[in-house]
Amino acid sequence: MIFDAKIIDLPKILDKRGNLSFIEEENHVPFKIERSFWIYDVPGGESRGGHAYKTSEEFIVALSGSFDVVLDDGKEKKTFHLNRSYYGLYVPKMIWREMNNFSTNSLALVLSSTMYDEGDYIRDYNIFRSYK
């Protein structure tokens, strides 16, 4: 399962006036985008996440700065360091994830395949393991 998580390169239009990248649903991300949110102003040493989704898939981009995304499929853990705005990390459903090591002024954009639904979260690691 963890091997279904992958870095996806985005288009990068180089320009001396400044570079441009973009994301199209079902083209650069393998799902229909139902929701976008972003994480910012993270104090030093804090972590976000610490849960899995039953059905949501996500695509995470470091629009600014850097952070780590630690994925865990119940058997294996893998850490992805995101620090560029021209690629992102695709996270399938049913993967435990944590985001940490946020740099100062980092900005994490998250695209999700579903609307927000607290019922889609698994927030207890032991329950996650039992689902798996």
How far apart are the C-alpha atoms of 63 and 39, rounded to whole Å?
10
Residue span binding ligand TYD (CB under 6 A) among the ranges 5-13, 35-43, 60-68, 71-79: 35-43
- Of the candidate residues 22, 37, 40, 131, the single one contacting ligand TYD (CB under 6 A): 37
Q: Which is nearer to ligand TYD, 39 or 86 (CB)?
A: 39
- Of the candidate residues 1, 25, 49, 68, the single one contacting ligand TYD (CB under 6 A): 49
- Answer yes or no: 81 catalytic: no
- Of the candidate residues 12, 35, 84, 132, the single one contacting ligand TYD (CB under 6 A): 35
CB of 102 to ligand TYD, least distance (A): 11
Q: Which is nearer to ligand TYD, 22 or 116 (CB)?
A: 116
- Of the candidate residues 38, 116, 117, 124, the single one contacting ligand TYD (CB under 6 A): 116
SS (H, E, C) the chain: CHHHCEEEECCEECCCCCCEECCCECCCECCCCCEEEEECCCCCCCCEEEEEECCCCEEEEEEECCEEEEEECCCCEEEEEECCCCEEEEECCCCEEEEECCCCCCEEEEEECCCCCHHHEECCHHHHHHHC
Which residues make up the interface to ligand TYD (CB under 6 A)?
Answer: 35, 37, 39, 48-49, 51, 116
Catalytic amino acids? 51
